[in-house]
Each structure stands twice: as structure tokens, then as C-alpha cells.
Amino acid sequence: MLTKNEPAENEPKETSRLEAFSDGVFAIAITLLVLELIETLHTQTNDGLMQLFVTHWQSFLAYIIGFITILVCWINHHVALEYIKKIDTNFFWINGFLLFVVTLTPFSTAILAEYLEKESRTALAIFGFNYILISIAADSICTYACNHHLIEEKHREFYASYKIIYRYAIFYNIVAFLLCFVSITVPIILYVILFAAFAAPKAFAARLQKIKDRKKKKIKRTNHTPGK
Amino acid sequence: MLTKNEPAENEPKETSRLEAFSDGVFAIAITLLVLELIETLHTQTNDGLMQLFVTHWQSFLAYIIGFITILVCWINHHVALEYIKKIDTNFFWINGFLLFVVTLTPFSTAILAEYLEKESRTALAIFGFNYILISIAADSICTYACNHHLIEEKHREFYASYKIIYRYAIFYNIVAFLLCFVSITVPIILYVILFAAFAAPKAFAARLQKIKDRKKKKIKRTNHTPGK
Amino acid sequence: MLTKNEPAENEPKETSRLEAFSDGVFAIAITLLVLELIETLHTQTNDGLMQLFVTHWQSFLAYIIGFITILVCWINHHVALEYIKKIDTNFFWINGFLLFVVTLTPFSTAILAEYLEKESRTALAIFGFNYILISIAADSICTYACNHHLIEEKHREFYASYKIIYRYAIFYNIVAFLLCFVSITVPIILYVILFAAFAAPKAFAARLQKIKDRKKKKIKRTNHTPGK
Amino acid sequence: MLTKNEPAENEPKETSRLEAFSDGVFAIAITLLVLELIETLHTQTNDGLMQLFVTHWQSFLAYIIGFITILVCWINHHVALEYIKKIDTNFFWINGFLLFVVTLTPFSTAILAEYLEKESRTALAIFGFNYILISIAADSICTYACNHHLIEEKHREFYASYKIIYRYAIFYNIVAFLLCFVSITVPIILYVILFAAFAAPKAFAARLQKIKDRKKKKIKRTNHTPGK
């Protein structure tokens, strides 16, 4: 589907519109979460105002979780697209899949808010399934950008670290998802660790890069010592 | 309505705001679809959570169809506006018509979700009517841009291919729309083919351009053979 | 409140964010209109699907009117801000007032949809009041930009034409508003004319400019004939 | 979490996406307020249209307050980010906290609309708590930008004035919040003063800067008089 037969000078413009559209989707998805919070005001108006915060604590917790999830997604999307200079039609679709999962997040958050007490495991598993989809989308973006030379050659090695962290995240999320059917606390702890790691994807990837560099040097040294 | 008597140096700025506004509308329309999904949580809370996915399968199917529809629209809008360097007031209105149809799409999607089982043919026909409007809007944008020299001369021939594919799409959509009153499976197959074709409009137009070039060469050769 | 004591080199950036924020508000306001349309699906599900379009014709009419209103506003905002190169804090507030009226428009539209049959005159008058506010906001933006030299000197004379058309629009809208309490058809005709005039504000202002130029020349000629 | 080991040339792009995302969130939050206003139309349709404005006056008042709050936030965000040229991952999170509070504002506004008559003090206190969070977020942004040298050296001193006004705003808001439990009119007056002061943060900071400059000169003069 790659289109190579038309002029290339328009390509920087392409990235900016993709970013503007994606930013719009992220911004709306993160702000729509509040509608579910406002909904709680309409369902129950007989009790006192402070009582509302007590009865609907799951809505508030879900709101915070949903907000952080989409914010982490946006930060990672920002970082992943930073080095991408040109895009093609396939990339629109891979990015579109990520946006699809992002727009689903307010729905998963609403499920969390309404079923956290009644069916806590299923509700958590659905949210966990959302995370699996997010990590698959993030991995697809990085892998495609890497393999199709959408990023500048000098940044490619650093970028490969992103690819690795998102690939690992898929397996991590599958494990956390399966644990949802057995326990509640274990997957929650796993998700908190996940948040902490992907809160600063650049630093995370840079740390990984350093470890790789050190390993390489070691291998180089062990290979070269007899020769030199 | 074309305004020629004021300075032209501001025109690149014009395109960027039109794109920003359009991107906003696309982003919101595609994200609002999730509200209909969240609605399903409020209408029926007695059943189990997994039961919800079974009873409301039409809502989820409609959500996916609506999302892909608006994403395809955005990709085509992006590609159509890529070569347009200057715009006039008429173009605002033609683009406004496209945005009008895009903002209607969440409504058609909601109809699909609620009436797919009860009145499947009518619901599909309404969604099909939406497609006719989209293709008319896309055709209008390309035809206007071509005829009013809003695109650079060197890209004009390539751009003419867009005009042709969107023109054909109108007739294609009218046929599919009429078939909705007779059958369900036939229009669905037609729409899937439509999605596949317009998923990568650039590649689609480039392929068309190649066929045209080949034909031209053939005609040239047949015309020139006796002369040379 | 004008701030003159800090560096000026950041000012082009200022305009772009104001436009981005305004575009966002316009895009959301225009897309939120569809929610009222989707609402009609939830209030009445017993009748057939085609019946829905018959019973809720006011909602569809209001949707179209609301959409065109906000689109006309956006086009006029775009044109008004095109020549503005620098802004100050006061301008944020004047622009904020316009955005306030724009965000109110979905509410006026919803009133139109629900009360067009029951209390047609009051519903129309409320929508008319919205138009008065819009024209006051548009006039304020142009007058402020003109008087505080926010636009380049060479465009100032042309820009003054905008100021005049928006000033006249205020009085026009007040008359139309008052007529709402007496008649239904007369204000509707007046609003259609208003739409047609402000659909292309640039051409409208250019035509006005031409008339002014012709008058000037005439006066010049009559003044100079005996002298020269 | 600061990432220093990758290239810096992409940084101007970073700020623009952060601004675009933030603008999106501000624009949506400010426009979503109208949904609460439209809600009033659905809850009560038996009375006349003019009666609606009388019964739901709190909704309209809350709408205006919510709109001004988010607009003031946006103006201050705009001014605070104007001089920031580069950002890091921590800044995403500090900005994310501000956006979190901004998205909460439609919820606080909805509380104000529904509980202003029933539990006026609690409703006002919740809105006041929202203000405390906003001022903490604004202070965090300025303090972090100042301390981590995200702004150009030449603007740093001026920028420090912002830091001071937002720091004072925290304490001011805490006092106003506590007064909500005792009185209604006193905190309202305090909030009106707050709005007036932060309506033009640049002018406010410039005035503060002038006072500081005058003091400095005085100190200099008193210190230098015996020496010279």
C-alpha cells in the first residue's frame, strides 16, 4: 500500500495533521471521562452532597485511573512520534488502531466505575484487556516505524529500545490480564508498576539502551582482548 | 463569491486553520461514538457484565463500523487537502458540507446500534445514505479544487485521479443504497469492498493513474506507428 | 491591561494558540449538536424508524440551523483573525466572549428543537437573542483590533469594512429579534438573508469597500473640478 | 526522570504538541459545560420556556462561573507556557495534573448548579477546593519551569514574578475555601477579586515586577550612598 510514485515534499505536513488529529482524540477521550462523574449527580439527588462522594467512590477512583491511563498513552504516543519524520497510509491505520483503543478507554473506565463492587474481577479483566490492546498498538507503531525507515538513521538504534519495551509490555499485560481471574491485588500491583515504568518512556528506553551498550562493550572486550 | 481584491500572502495560514478545525470535528465525531457504548451500561444494569456484551453486540459492531467510517473519511480528507495550497470562501462551505456529514455519522451509527435487529434494512439504508452524502462531499472538494486551480499545476494530473475515484464512489454508493431495500448481505459485501478501496486512497489513485498512463501510451503508439 | 513592558518576539506564537483553542471550541460546539439528535433515538423507540424522522422533524431542522450558525461564526472568526498579527490580554477576553456565545449555541439549538412547535415565537426569539450576542462579539473583536492597531497598517482600511458590517449586523439582529414576538415568517426571512450575507464575509466587505471607494472618487472629483 | 542522553533538536516540536493537547482539553472542558445546560431542558418540559430560565437560574449562573474559570485557566496556561522553550517528561506530568483539575471543573460546575440552593456552602467549598488544586498546579508549572531552566535566561527574572503570584494564590484560595464553611458572601467576594487579578496575569506579574524593581533600586541607593 506504500505509495512511492508521488512527490515527497509534502511529508512534514502529513505528520503534523496526524498529530493534530491524534491530539484531538486523546484530549476528547480524557475529557469525556468527566461525563460519567457528572452522571453520578443525576442518578442520586436525595442524599446529601458529601454522601455522594462516599457512595460513588468507585466512580472517582475509575476517573483517576482512566485519566492516568490516557495521559500515559498520550505521553508514549508523543515520544514514539517525536522521531518519525515521514508517514505512509499504512501508518494511518496502525495509528488509527491505537486511537480506537484510546476511544474505548472511557467505556472501560465506565465499566470499572459501575462494576468494581459487583463484579470486580470481570471489570478489572476488561480494563486489563484494554491495556493488552494499547500495548499491541504501541508495539505496532514502533515496529512499523523502525522496519519501514520512517525515522532518521541516526536515531534508529535508540528507537529500537522503544520497540523492545512495548513488546515486553504486551506479554506483561497478558500475564496481568490472566491474573485478574484469580486475584485482585496482584494485577493491581502489576498495573501500578506498569504505570510507573511507562510514565517516562524516554528515560525507560534510555536506561535499557545503556544496559545494551554496556553488554556490547563487554562482548567487544571479551572478543577483542586476545586479538589486540 | 471568490475574493480576488485583497492580499494573498496570508493564504498558507488559511489552510492550516481549516485543517485544524476539520481535524477537531473528525476527532470529536470519532470519540463521541463511545458515548453510545457507555449508554448501554446505563440502560441495563441487572444482568451480569459479560451478558452485556452479548445483548448489546449490535452496539459494539456499530461502534467499530462508525469508527472505521470516520477514520476512512479523515484519511481521505487528509490526502485530498495535502496538495491544496490556497483556499477561498466557497471552499469553506464545501468543506463544511463534508464536516456536516461527518458529524451526522455518530447519529447514523446510533441508529445502526438500536435498529440493526428490529429494522435491519432501514437502518442499513440510512447508513448507506450517509455514505452517498460522504462521497458527494468528497467529490465536490476534489472537483472544486481541480477546477478552481487551488492545487499546484504539477500535481493537477495526479489529483484528477482522486476526482474520478470519488465520482465513481457516488454511483457505487447509490447502487449499494438501493440494494439495501432488497438484501442485507449484498450491500454489506459492497461496503466492505468500498472500505478496502478507500482505506488507501493515494495508492488507489496511483493505480488508476498508471492504467491511464498505459492507455495513453498505447493510443500514442497506435497513432504514431504509421507516421513514423 | 495592555502589557507593553515584556519582549514582543513571542507574539506570532500567541495568535496560533488563540486560534487553536478557538478552533477547538468551534469544532466541539458544532459536533455536540449531534448529541441532541441521538437523544431523539432514546426518548422514543416504540415507533418505526422512518416514523422517527417525521415526529422529530424539528430536531433535524434545528440541527441544520445550529450547524450553519456555528459554521458561519467560524468562517467569520477565521476571516476576522486573518490579518491580526499580535494580541493582548484584553483580546483574550473579547475572543472569550465570542466563544462563550458559540458554546451557548448548542443550548439555543436544543431549545429550538424542543419548543419549535410548542412555543415557536419564544424559541425563535431566544435563538435571535443568540444572534445579537454573536454580532456584538464579532463587532467587538473587529473594533478592538482596529482601534488598538493589532493589524498591519496596509490592511487597516480594508479591515474597517468588517467593523462596519458587524456593527450593522447588531442593529439588524435587534430588529429581527423584536419581530420574533410579532411574526414567525418575517424574522425567518431576515435570518436567511443574514446567513447569505455573512456566508462570505470577505466578499461582503470587499463589495462595501468598492462602494466606499466609488463614493470617495466622486467626492474628490466634485471637490477638485472647479479648483483644477 | 530527566532525559539528557538523546538529541535536543526535536524540542521545539515537543512544546507545540503539549500546547495542542492542552488546548484540546481546555476547549472540550469549556464546551462540555453546555451539556449540563441542555440537561435542564430534558428534566422539565411541562412548564413554559421562560419559566425554565427562572427555575434553573443556578444552572445558568454555574455555567457562567465554570466558563470564566476555565477561560482564566487557559489564559494563565497560555501566558505561563509562552516563555517555555523546552520540556521534559516531568513537565508532562505537572501539566497533566493541571489538565486533570481542568477536566474536573465541569463536574464542580455541575455540583454548583444542582446544590447551590440545597447545600450552598458545601457546593461552594467543593468549587473552592477546585481553585486550590488549580493554583497548586499553576504554581508547580511555574516553579518547575523556573528551577529546571526550561525558560530562556533573559526572561527568568520576569518569570519569577509568575511563580510568586501563583504561590500567593494557593494561600489565598485556602483562606477562601475555609471561609466557605462560615459564610457565603465573603468567599464569593474573594473569588471575584481572584478572577479580576488573574484575568490578566501578565499585567499582574508586570506590576509586581515594577514594585520589586523599585524596592531594589531603593536598597541599592541606600547601600551605595555612603560608598559613592
Give A27's contacts in chain C (Cβ within 8 Å): 24
Q: Is residue B76 part of a domain?
A: yes
What pLDDT sits at residue D149?
A: 78
Indicate if the pLDDT at residue C25 is higher than 80. Answer: yes
Residue B204, amino acid: F
List the single residue in B with minimal CA-CA distance to A113. B41
* Partner-chain residue, chosen from C20, C36, C123, that has the shortest CB–CB distance to D49: C123
Indicate if the pLDDT at residue B228 is higher than 50. Answer: no
Cβ of residue D203 closer than 8 Å to a chain C Cβ: yes
Q: C11: Cβ–Cβ under 8 A, 6 or more apart, which residues?
A: C85, C86, C87
Chain D nearest-CA distance from B24, in A, is 8
Number of domains observed in the structure of chain A: 1
The model's confidence at residue A44, banded by pLDDT at 50, 70 and 90, is low
Indicate if the pLDDT at residue B47 is higher than 90. Answer: no
* Partner-chain residue, chosen from A26, A31, A37, that has the shortest CB–CB distance to D29: A31
Instruction: List beta partners, residue B151.
Output: B84
Segment among A114-123, A128-137, B200-209 with least mean pLDDT = B200-209
The model's confidence at residue A82, banded by pLDDT at 50, 70 and 90, is confident
Indicate if the pLDDT at residue C28 is higher than 60. Answer: yes
Segment among A51-60, B108-117, C44-53, C103-112 with least mean pLDDT = C44-53
Q: Is residue B165 part of a domain?
A: yes
pLDDT tens-digit readout, D37-82: 888 887 755 678 888 888 888 899 999 999 999 999 999 999 888 8
The model's confidence at residue A45, banded by pLDDT at 50, 70 and 90, is low
Instruction: Please report the beta strands in A57-181, taking only residues with DSSP state E, as ranges in sequence order.
Output: none
Determine which of D17, D31, D63 to mutate to test the interface with A (most A C-beta atoms within 10 Å).
D17
Q: Is residue C4 part of a domain?
A: no
pLDDT tens-digit readout, B196-223: 889 888 888 888 888 878 887 777 777 6
Q: Is residue D6 part of a domain?
A: no
Taking all residues of chain B, what is their mean pLDDT, rounded to a whole number?
84
Give B24's contacts in chain D (Cβ within 8 Å): 24, 27
Taking all residues of chain A, what is their mean pLDDT, rounded to a whole number?
85
Q: Is residue D147 part of a domain?
A: yes
Chain B nearest-CA distance from D24, in A, is 8
Instruction: Please report the beta strands in D99-164, taking only residues with DSSP state E, as ranges in sequence order.
Output: none
Q: What is the 3-state secondary structure (H, E, C) of chain B?
A: CCCCCCCCCCHHHHHHHHHHHHHHHHHHHHHHHHHHHHHHHHHCCCCCHHHHHHHCHHHHHHHHHHHHHHHHHHHHHHHHHHCECCCCHHHHHHHHHHHHHHHHHHHHHHHHHHHCCCCHHHHHHHHHHHHHHHHHHHHHHHHHHHHCCCECHHHHHHHHHHHHHHHHHHHHHHHHHHHCCCCCHHHHHHHHHHHHHHCCHHHHHHHHHHHHHHHHHHHHHHHHHHHC
Q: Is residue D3 part of a domain?
A: no
What pLDDT sits at residue D203?
A: 84
Q: C61: Cβ–Cβ under 8 A, 6 or more apart, which residues?
A: C112, C113, C116
What pLDDT sits at residue A153?
A: 79
Q: Is residue B24 part of a domain?
A: yes
User: ipTM score here?
Assistant: 0.86
Q: What is the mean pLDDT of residues B71-93?
A: 89
pTM of the model: 0.89
Tell which wins on pLDDT, B46 or C160: C160
What pLDDT sits at residue A34?
A: 93
Q: Is residue D134 part of a domain?
A: yes
Share of chain A above pLDDT 90, in %: 44
Share of chain C above pLDDT 90, in %: 44
pLDDT tens-digit readout, C52-94: 888 888 899 999 999 999 999 999 999 888 888 888 888 999 9
Share of chain B above pLDDT 70, in %: 89
For D38, the domain range is: 11-224
CA D144 to chain centre: 16
Q: What is the mean pLDDT of residues B116-134?
A: 91
Taking all residues of chain C, what is their mean pLDDT, rounded to a whole number?
85
The model's confidence at residue D150, banded by pLDDT at 50, 70 and 90, is confident
Share of chain C above pLDDT 70, in %: 89
Segment among A41-45, B116-120, D103-107 with least mean pLDDT = A41-45
- With CB atoms and an 8 Å threshold, state whether A38 touches D110: yes
The model's confidence at residue D3, banded by pLDDT at 50, 70 and 90, is very low
